[in-house]
């Protein structure tokens, strides 16, 4: 008569068979398999970034150029005149 063995029961049976070295190897192998399954099961698909609208791009570029102009003015004030 065969008894029903759950998933955890199979891991225990696999781990407990053979010599001490074989059991240790089986334990390590089962650990790697379980770790891989956990990583693969929890992985999410990357979400696509929404594309910025043209008004957002224009606004960002205007701010960037205004900051560049301000930085150039600030650097120009701090420099000594060339002779």
pLDDT in tens, 17-47: 677 777 788 778 888 888 888 887 776 777 7
Q: What is the pTM of this model?
A: 0.36
pLDDT band at 15 (very low <50, low <70, confident <90, very high): low
- pLDDT at position 57, please? 92
Please name the helix (run of DSSP H) or strand (run of DSSP E) that holds residue 23, with its range, or none. helix 20-42
With 70 as the cut, is the pLDDT of residue 50 above it?
A: yes
Residue 50 tokens, joined: 């929404």
Residue 65 tokens, joined: 């150029």
User: What is the C-alpha to C-alpha distance for residues 81 and 83, in angstroms, rounded to an integer?
Assistant: 7
- pLDDT at position 1, please? 44
């Amino acid at each position: 008569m065969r008894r029903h063995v759950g998933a955890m029961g199979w891991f225990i049976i696999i781990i407990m068979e053979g010599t001490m070295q074989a059991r240790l190897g089986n334990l390590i192998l089962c650990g790697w398999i379980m770790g891989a399954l956990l990583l693969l099961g929890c992985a999410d698909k990357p979400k696509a970034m929404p594309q910025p609208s043209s008004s957002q791009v224009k606004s960002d570029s205007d701010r960037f150029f205004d900051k560049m102009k301000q930085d150039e003015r600030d650097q120009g004030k701090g420099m000594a005149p060339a002779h």
